[in-house]
């Protein structure tokens, strides 16, 4: 089985060839959605930002998404008076040599006219990007994220460590593997720091978790939902230890923030908690906000583990769903790609499920659709945040020659 990717001007390769229709304020959401709906194409995806106030982080993430390897072309839908810098977004996409159009509703004649123009624009883009031929892709071209959602007491003993096994193998073969949510690493900071490539990076890993703890303490809640406790989890640090096992056992090569691309293969932590004093509310208000940030770092696909049973997918990058709980799997098997809960019933081992996840990654990168893609899941959410650039100790591998064969 050969993985294939669509070549992009920056040298990256995409495992999908998606047209992103991006609204820049909630006031343009309906029109952008109507364009996507009328195109009736599984590879035309809706993304957007709801706020009218400017935000550097949101612009950076939207630029990263508009130039993501899985994206072939971008249609920008602006109301006209919002503060989002549509010119900067348009320029970033154009500079990446992708087709891009901007429709400004206030200049295009309103709802019906903008929808009609948008559909025409997407049709032209479909014709243009259908000319791009996929080429063979190696493991070192691949960036893979992982996230957990709807965790329970089974997550940390089946699906999460099985993802860890898959990550160890994928990373050793050259893929960049990203785990995240520092708020769900509270309690694991010392153990995690001991796996850092350098002592300075270890210190940064601990600091990123301290930042998360301070932030969530101000918010008044940890990253812990009612379903977590119904599923047997009692404390934040217990949930954290289970979540942490998704990272496997490899050396941690660096820390990324949203929009940063991993400079080498191997394992990276994505720091998703804003810098500075808490300003805009909870770091990630739902699982898809985390997935969007993984994609902003270049993730071609996301490994999503769930115990209680999440059904989500994502815009732009496919989601592979790995079910931790055998009872949940029986109820929601039509929403799951991998049955990891069978380990608890003696019908498989961690190594076997890890291999199954690895194989699902390869199949998805050959173009095979995941279950959530087939079901039409294209969730997307992006909200306000503030970040400082990563510090010099966060990417020790950047100083070494970057090896991406």
Partner 1 sequence: MTSDARLMLLHPEDDVFVCCSSIAAGDIFLIEGQPVCAAKAIAMGHKVSRRHLAIGAKVRKYGAPIGSMTVAVSPGDHVHLHNLASDYLPSHVLDTGNSEAKR
DSSP 224: -
Q: Which of residues 241-260 bind partner 1 (CB under 8 A)?
A: 241-242, 245
Distance CA 385, CA 57 (A): 6
400 binds partner 1 (CB under 8 A): no
Among 41, 230, 351, 374, binds partner 1 (CB under 8 A): 230
Distance CA 95, CA 77 (A): 19
Nearer to partner 1 by C-beta: 161 or 318? 161
231 binds partner 1 (CB under 8 A): yes
**Window of 112-120, 127-135, 237-245, 374-382 that interacts with partner 1 by CB under 8 A:** 237-245
Among 1, 11, 40, 226, binds partner 1 (CB under 8 A): 226
Nearer to partner 1 by C-beta: 219 or 390? 219
Which DSSP string do the residues of 184-237 spell out, in sequence order? G-TT-HHHHHTTBSSHHHHHHHHHHHHHHHHHHHHHT--S--HHHHHTT--SHH
Distance CA 183, CA 187 (A): 9
Nearer to partner 1 by C-beta: 295 or 353? 353
* Crossing angle of the two packed helices 86-95 and 56-66, in degrees rounded to 10: 30
Give, for 14, the enclosing helix (H) or strand (E): strand 13-14
User: Are the C-beta atoms of residues 209 and 182 closer than 8 Å to each other?
Assistant: yes
For the window 104-143, what string marks contact with partner 1 as x by the rule CB under 8 A? ----------------------------------------
Distance CA 376, CA 205 (A): 37
350 binds partner 1 (CB under 8 A): no
224 binds partner 1 (CB under 8 A): yes
In angstroms, what is the minimal distance from the CB of 160 to partner 1? 11
* Crossing angle of the two packed helices 29-39 and 111-129, in degrees rounded to 10: 50
217 binds partner 1 (CB under 8 A): yes
In angstroms, what is the minimal distance from the CB of 326 to partner 1? 8
Among 53, 107, 221, 369, binds partner 1 (CB under 8 A): 221
164 binds partner 1 (CB under 8 A): no
User: Are the C-beta atoms of residues 204 and 212 closer than 8 Å to each other?
Assistant: no
Q: Which of residues 366-385 bind partner 1 (CB under 8 A)?
A: none
Distance CA 331, CA 123 (A): 39
Among 213, 294, 322, 394, binds partner 1 (CB under 8 A): 213
Q: Provide φ and ψ at 66, rounded to 5°.
A: -65, -20
In angstroms, what is the minimal distance from the CB of 352 to partner 1? 17
Residue 315, phi-psi category: left (phi > 0), alpha (psi -120 to 50), beta (remainder): beta
Core vs surface per residue 61-72: b (16+ CB within 10 A) or e? bbbbbbbbbbbb
**Window of 29-37, 108-116, 228-236, 279-287 that interacts with partner 1 by CB under 8 A:** 228-236
Distance CA 49, CA 138 (A): 33
DSSP 196: B
In angstroms, what is the minimal distance from the CB of 168 to partner 1? 18
**Window of 117-125, 180-188, 264-272, 278-286 that interacts with partner 1 by CB under 8 A:** 180-188
349 binds partner 1 (CB under 8 A): no
State how beta strands 13-14 and 4-7 pair. antiparallel
Judged by the rule CB under 8 A, the positions of this chain that interact with partner 1 are: 152-154, 156-157, 186-188, 191, 213, 216-217, 221-222, 224-226, 228-238, 241-242, 245, 307, 325-327, 344-345
């Amino acid at each position: 089985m050969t993985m294939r990717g669509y070549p992009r001007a920056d040298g990256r390769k995409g495992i999908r060839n998606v047209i992103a229709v991006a609204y820049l304020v909630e006031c343009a959401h309906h029109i952008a959605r109507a364009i996507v709906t009328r195109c009736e194409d599984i590879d035309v995806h809706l993304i957007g930002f709801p706020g009218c106030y400017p935000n550097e982080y949101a612009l950076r993430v939207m630029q990263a998404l508009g130039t993501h390897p899985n994206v072939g072309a971008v249609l920008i839908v602006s109301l006209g008076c919002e503060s989002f810098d549509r010119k900067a977004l348009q320029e970033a996409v154009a500079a990446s040599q992708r087709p891009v159009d901007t429709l400004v509703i206030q200049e295009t004649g309103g709802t019906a006219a903008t929808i009609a123009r948008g559909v025409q624009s997407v049709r032209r883009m479909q014709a243009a990007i259908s000319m791009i031929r996929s080429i063979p892709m190696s493991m070192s071209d691949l960036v893979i994220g992982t996230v957990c959602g709807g965790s329970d007491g089974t997550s940390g003993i089946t699906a999460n460590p099985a993802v860890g096994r898959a990550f160890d193998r994928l990373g050793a073969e050259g893929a960049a593997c990203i785990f995240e949510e520092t708020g769900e690493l509270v309690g694991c900071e010392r153990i995690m720091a001991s796996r850092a490539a350098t002592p300075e990076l270890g210190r940064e890993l601990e600091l990123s978790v301290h930042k998360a703890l301070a932030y969530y303490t101000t918010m008044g809640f940890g990253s812990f939902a009612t379903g977590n406790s119904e599923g047997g989890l009692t404390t934040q640090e217990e949930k954290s230890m289970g979540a942490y096992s998704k990272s496997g056992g490899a050396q941690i090569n660096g820390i990324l923030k949203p929009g940063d691309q991993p400079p080498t293969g191997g394992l990276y932590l994505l720091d998703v908690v804003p810098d500075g004093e808490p300003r805009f509310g909870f770091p990630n208000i739902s699982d898809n906000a985390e997935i969007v940030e993984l994609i902003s770092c270049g993730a071609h696909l996301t490994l999503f583990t769930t115990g209680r049973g999440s059904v989500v997918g994502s815009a732009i990058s496919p989601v592979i769903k790995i079910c931790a709980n055998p009872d949940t799997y029986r109820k929601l098997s039509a929403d799951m790609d991998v049955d990891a809960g069978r380990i608890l019933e003696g019908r498989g081992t961690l190594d076997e499920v890890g291999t199954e996840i690895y194989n699902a990654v390869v199949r998805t990168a050959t173009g095979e659709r995941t279950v959530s893609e087939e079901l039409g899941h294209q969730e997307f959410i992006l909200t306000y945040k503030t970040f400082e650039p990563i510090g010099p100790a966060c990417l020790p591998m950047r100083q070494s020659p970057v090896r991406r064969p």
